Amino acid sequence: MTSEVDGDTTELSRPARRQAEIAAYVVKHGSVSANDLVEAFGVSVMTVHRDLDELERQGVVRKYRGGVSAQPTSVFESNVAYRLNTAHAEKAAIARHARAMIEPGMSVMLDDSTSALALIDLIEDITPLTVATNFLPAITRLSQLRDITLLALGGIYSATHDSFGGMPCAEAVEALHTDLLFCSVSAVSSTHAFHQEEEIVLVKRAMLRSARTKVLLVDHAKLQRTALHRLAPLTDFDVVIVDEKTPQDLIEPLRDHGATVEVAKL
Amino acid sequence: MTSEVDGDTTELSRPARRQAEIAAYVVKHGSVSANDLVEAFGVSVMTVHRDLDELERQGVVRKYRGGVSAQPTSVFESNVAYRLNTAHAEKAAIARHARAMIEPGMSVMLDDSTSALALIDLIEDITPLTVATNFLPAITRLSQLRDITLLALGGIYSATHDSFGGMPCAEAVEALHTDLLFCSVSAVSSTHAFHQEEEIVLVKRAMLRSARTKVLLVDHAKLQRTALHRLAPLTDFDVVIVDEKTPQDLIEPLRDHGATVEVAKL
DNA sequence: ATAACATAACACCAGAAGGCGATAAGAACG
DNA sequence: CGTTCTTATCGCCTTCTGGTGTTATGTTAT
């Protein structure tokens, strides 16, 4: 009743899920009062405020006296899509498929996507290995691993994505050239990859220029949608990995337009 | 009985302290067996191994079958000095003094030092503020703060310092110019600041070039020691902040050589 | 001035994680 | 081939922290 956003919302702490639901609620209603949310979600007013503070920190809503209002949908979309990360099993399958492409001694670049995060859990034992990323959760995890050379891509921190971006980041990327790039996007048409936010596009484009082999990770939810900014034609990627649940009739068009599509088995 | 390293070792989790003590023990004896450590520290062999693994990850010791040996003292020194971070009160005082130099709207650079970390807890309410740092714990904390623009300085991760360095980092620093720099070093003579490791020196030098006002944070333990690499003359810093416990006769020589020294009150 | 709202400060609880050792399985050395 | 050292796995216990509500204090609007 409270949420328009569906999917497998397990793997998410209770408050995190509630926050995502609140975000959806706020976006749907445009602007609501704290008390409305108290009723809608059955928690105390204090908790509502705490949730709203967090959402505001992430740039999803704006608080003012008496309530909150939604920020531009682009922000909401990419944030909530990220938070209420669905399709865990599919992501894992894609990650496993991607992992097979990595060999000891390589250098790998990862972008700020949950798909990339799934990959990290699988590469511990590929050694030696150099990993470059601008994604803070990824950096944190990689810093614990003994045998991996971590190259953090710095830049301006974005609370919405929990990653670093902007010009400083693009420059850091440009100073590198890795063997592999694994990246994801918010939408994929039959010909192009898309993303909501311009600043992110900037960094991803730089990444595409800085890698020898480029791999796009796409779970089926991304397909046949578009988003504001066109990132690159799919033919720019050496491989596009989709999960097994992707309908065959969505895969064909990609191939027809010249993309190399591989299907990750569960 | 086990430790040659003294000081206020509170504020440190039990295993972390033991690990630091083990590190000291290993360095003192050059090389020891796991069983020696079991006896010396009264913990199980399993625990000893776990500690040694962690120390090896940090680059402090080298494991081989039958025991461990110490790494070059330079690594040990800067690592353990960092881990068994003493003089908490003094650091806080220095941080408070430093904080007074920051004004809303400024951009501040912090290096990878515990002194810098202490400062972070105090700047939450200076807003707006931009903070650039290559220190992972600092990055993690700052990423939580709503009103602070965080500029992460990427680079090659060093487990020993828990920070980013190398050429990529130096380049990232060079692309910036901040109003303020707060940094610390491992040793201070009456004329110069010193540091053990060359790669670190590289980054700190870059930082010195990239800030308008440079501030050196020095707790009294650092004074009248030297270390391998000369970082810069003290006159390169606009201000040197020392704590109140610094003996007067150590402060005088600094001033005699032209440094501007300020004493932080507890 | 007073009502409505927001924040701060406490305290509580539960669940997670950390930390440790015992045992057992595995790997290197002689 | 056995001995010694190392690692993996499990289970226990403790500690910590995340998440919450309640009450009290502050703040803003009307």
pLDDT the model gives residue A8? 46
Nucleotides of C under 7 A from a protein CB: 5-9, 18-23, 28-29
Cα–Cα nearest to A114, from A195, A187, A183: A183
Helix, strand, coil % in chain A, rounded to nearest 5: 40, 25, 30
Whether residues B54 and B130 share a domain: the answer is: no
Whether residues B88 and B172 share a domain: the answer is: yes
The mean pLDDT of B194-220, rounded to a whole number, is 93
Quick check: B75 pLDDT over 80? no
Token match 């020993």: residue?
Answer: B160
Q: Cα B14–B17–B22 angle (5° rounding)? A: 120
Whether residues A141 and A236 share a domain: the answer is: yes
Count chain A–chain B contacts defined by CB atoms under 8 A. 77
CA-based nearest distance A99→chain B, Å: 22
Whether residues A100 and A214 share a domain: the answer is: yes
The mean pLDDT of A30-37, rounded to a whole number, is 89
Specify the DSSP element, H or E, that contains A180.
Answer: strand A178-184
Q: Is the CB of B175 under 7 A from strand D?
A: no
Total of domains in chain B:
2
pLDDT in tens, B158-188: 988 899 999 999 999 999 999 999 999 988 9
**Band of residue B8 on the pLDDT scale cut at 50, 70, 90:** very low
Mapped onto helix, strand or coil, the DSSP state of residue A206 is helix
**Band of residue B225 on the pLDDT scale cut at 50, 70, 90:** confident
Whether residues A128 and A221 share a domain: the answer is: yes
Tell me whether residue A187 is in a domain: yes
Token match 């779970």: residue?
Answer: A219
pLDDT the model gives residue A197? 86
Beta carbons of B152 and A151 less than 8 Å apart: no
- Whole-number Å distance between alpha carbons of A183 and A153: 15
Quick check: B111 pLDDT over 50? yes
pLDDT the model gives residue B262? 96
The mean pLDDT of B197-223, rounded to a whole number, is 93
Whether residues A60 and A117 share a domain: the answer is: no
Q: Which residues of B fall within a CB distance of 8 Å from A169? A: 154
Whether residues A250 and A147 share a domain: the answer is: yes
pLDDT the model gives residue B127? 82
pLDDT the model gives residue A7? 42
Whether residues A28 and A115 share a domain: the answer is: no
Q: Are A185 and A134 in contact (CB under 8 A)?
A: no
Q: Is the CB of B165 under 7 A from strand D?
A: no
- Cis check: omega of the bond before B15, within 30 degrees of 0: no
Tell me whether residue B1 is in a domain: no
Nucleotides of D under 7 A from a protein CB: 5-9, 18-23, 28-29
Tell me whether residue A88 is in a domain: yes
State which residue of chain B sits closest to A55, comparing Cα positions.
B146
Beta carbons of B157 and A149 less than 8 Å apart: yes
pLDDT the model gives residue A82? 63
**Band of residue A54 on the pLDDT scale cut at 50, 70, 90:** confident
Tell me whether residue A29 is in a domain: yes
Collect all residues with Cβ–Cβ distance below 8 Å to A65 and sequence separation of at least 6: none
The mean pLDDT of A154-172, rounded to a whole number, is 94
pLDDT the model gives residue B3? 37
Of the ranges A58-62, A136-140, B249-253, which one carries the lowest mean pLDDT score? A58-62
**Minimum-distance residue to D16 (CA–C1'):** B13
Quick check: A109 pLDDT over 80? yes
The partner residue sitting opposite B152, judged by closest CB among A155, A175, A176, is A155
Beta carbons of A151 and B153 less than 8 Å apart: no
**Band of residue B6 on the pLDDT scale cut at 50, 70, 90:** very low
- Whole-number Å distance between alpha carbons of A96 and A32: 43
The partner residue sitting opposite A152, judged by closest CB among B56, B57, B152, is B152
Beta carbons of B151 and A154 less than 8 Å apart: yes
Q: Cα A230–A235–A238 angle (5° rounding)? A: 120
Quick check: B7 pLDDT over 50? no
In three-state form (DSSP H/G/I as H, E/B as E, the rest C), the secondary structure along B69-126 is EECCHHHHHHHHHHHCCCCHHHHHHHHHHHHCCCCCCCEEEECCCHHHHHHHCCCCCC
**Band of residue A164 on the pLDDT scale cut at 50, 70, 90:** very high
Of B74 and A47, more confident: A47
Q: Are A139 and B136 in contact (CB under 8 A)?
A: yes
pLDDT the model gives residue B157? 95
CATH number, position B33: 1.10.10.10
Structure tokens at A25: 């609620």
Whether residues A43 and A93 share a domain: the answer is: no
Cα–Cα nearest to B246, from B98, B90, B99, B95: B90
Q: Kindly list the residues of chain A whose beta carbon comes within 8 Å of any beta carbon in chain B.
A: 53, 56-57, 134, 136, 139-140, 142-143, 146, 149-157, 159, 162, 164, 168-169, 171-172, 175-176
The mean pLDDT of B73-86, rounded to a whole number, is 63
Domain that holds residue A121: 82-264
- Whole-number Å distance between alpha carbons of B206 and B211: 9
**Torsion B127-B133-B139-B141 (CA) sign:** negative
pLDDT in tens, B117-169: 889 888 888 888 999 999 999 999 999 888 899 999 999 999 888 999 999 99
pLDDT the model gives residue B4? 36
Q: Amino acid letter at B172?
A: A
Q: Residues of B34-55 as b/e, b for ≥16 C-beta within 10 angstroms?
A: bebbbebbebeeeebeebbebb
Summary mean pLDDT of chain B: 88
**Band of residue A160 on the pLDDT scale cut at 50, 70, 90:** confident
Tell me whether residue B22 is in a domain: yes
CATH number, position B174: 3.40.50.1360
Specify the DSSP element, H or E, that contains A69.
Answer: strand A67-70
Quick check: A29 pLDDT over 60? yes
Q: Residues of A41-74 as b/e, b for ≥16 C-beta within 10 angstroms?
A: bebeeeebeebbebbbbbbbbeeeeebbebbeeb
Whether residues A186 and A59 share a domain: the answer is: no
Return phi, psi of residue B3, to 5°.
-115, 135
Tell me whether residue B238 is in a domain: yes
Quick check: B217 pLDDT over 70? yes
Tell me whether residue B222 is in a domain: yes
Tell me whether residue B23 is in a domain: yes
C-alpha pair distances (Å), A199 with each of A164, A236, B75, B88: 10, 20, 39, 41
Whether residues A204 and A100 share a domain: the answer is: yes
Of the ranges A145-149, B44-48, B191-195, which one carries the lowest mean pLDDT score? A145-149
Q: Is the CB of A16 under 7 A from strand D?
A: yes
Structure tokens at B153: 């300085």
pLDDT in tens, A64-107: 898 899 877 665 666 655 655 667 778 889 999 999 999 999 99
Of the ranges A28-37, A82-91, B45-54, B155-164, which one carries the lowest mean pLDDT score? A82-91
Structure tokens at B163: 């920070």
Whether residues B179 and B58 share a domain: the answer is: no
